[in-house]
Amino acid sequence: MKNTEGKKDEIPESFSSYEEAGEFWDSHDSTHYLEQMTPVEVDARLEQRRFEIEVDEDIIIALERRARSQDMPASKLANDLLRQQLLVG
């Protein structure tokens, strides 16, 4: 689909599948088509914030082991343990 003569390909009226759309946009730069795009309003709200902290490997191993034994995600267990230690007292 990519034109090598310096002219850009037209955006197809429709795509037969998400895969076909993906193939088109994988080989075309969307910034070359800004004049054909329609602006939309978006109301984006962050419901939760996530933070990254450094944790020693032995702590992560123990956390994952305990989380598996309790059949829960390690992130939930980490939040529960931190909440118990820091907020309840």
- As a whole number of angstroms, the distance between CA 12 and CA 6 comes to 18
Mean pLDDT value across residues 2-26:
83
- As a whole number of angstroms, the distance between CA 13 and CA 19 comes to 15
- Pair 24, 13: CB distance under 8 Å: no
Mind listing the pLDDT tens digit for each residue in 20-61? 999 999 999 999 999 888 899 999 888 888 899 999 999 999
Is the pLDDT at 1 greater than 60, yes or no? no
